[in-house]
Amino acid sequence: MKFFYVINGRRLKQSLIVIIAAFFTASILYMGNQQQSVFSTKEGPMAIYKGEKTGKNIALTFDINWGDEQADKILDVLKNEGIKNTTFFISASWAERHPQVVERIVKEGHDIGSMGYHYRNYTDWDEKKIKRDILLADTTLKKLGIKDVKFLRTPNGNFNKKILKIADSYGYSIVHYSIDSKDYTNPGVEKIVENVVPNVSAGDIVLLHASDSATQTDKALPLIIKGLKSKNLQSVTVDELISNAEIRSSEIK
């Protein structure tokens, strides 16, 4: 496994550390003193796994591929809590069926990321099929007025080197996560909160779900937000979490 730390280039702000991971190698690298594309290194494109290590920012992310009731409930919670900058990863086939929810997500200040069109496991597909799905999703989202989508989260979180390269060739960076709420298992509100709040720290990307199959997320979310505030943490979009970065590298043995 390789971890890449990205340092913020803004002169008047504190150093920003972004951890980028790809799960297809066995060694660990620590980046230093190389200016390159944030998500492509000499060893190829990497997946975003964690954001800035210092400061107070984290990213709440929500996956959606089915239903609209939970999505609206979660958007209601975010609105009531005054949070306007999370990131929703959506399958384009779902977006076609629920354009009004997509419109609301954007209108209320949240970012959109892609999960492809069909929401199928890319590791089971050949290169041609993966490319077709990514492009179909891109076309569909553009028809819905969603342009300049930068980030792709692979269905079920599964990816490999081939998928990373395909995504990169279409201008996408794959976004993974560092905190898994496991809300999709519906383990109980308290357990969802327990999976997030005690473990979260600056830079974390938190995985949550807004599909109707995740029936407890809307109830857990206010408690998660309360916990974030108690730790002096705030949610920003994935884009903001990793913006204006330059890569530095050195090897950790």
Catalytic residue (one of 98, 110, 176, 209): 209
- Catalytic residue status for 98: no
Distance CA 148, CA 170 (A): 12
Cβ atoms of 172 and 137 within 8 Å: the answer is no
CA distances from 162 to 46, 55, 130, 152, 191 (A): 11, 34, 10, 14, 35
- Catalytic residue status for 63: yes
User: Looking at residue 46, what DSSP letter applies?
Assistant: -
Cβ atoms of 98 and 245 within 8 Å: the answer is no
Catalytic residue (one of 63, 68, 133, 183): 63
Q: 3-state DSSP call for residue 29? A: strand
Cβ atoms of 85 and 236 within 8 Å: the answer is yes
Write out the catalytic residue numbers. 63, 209
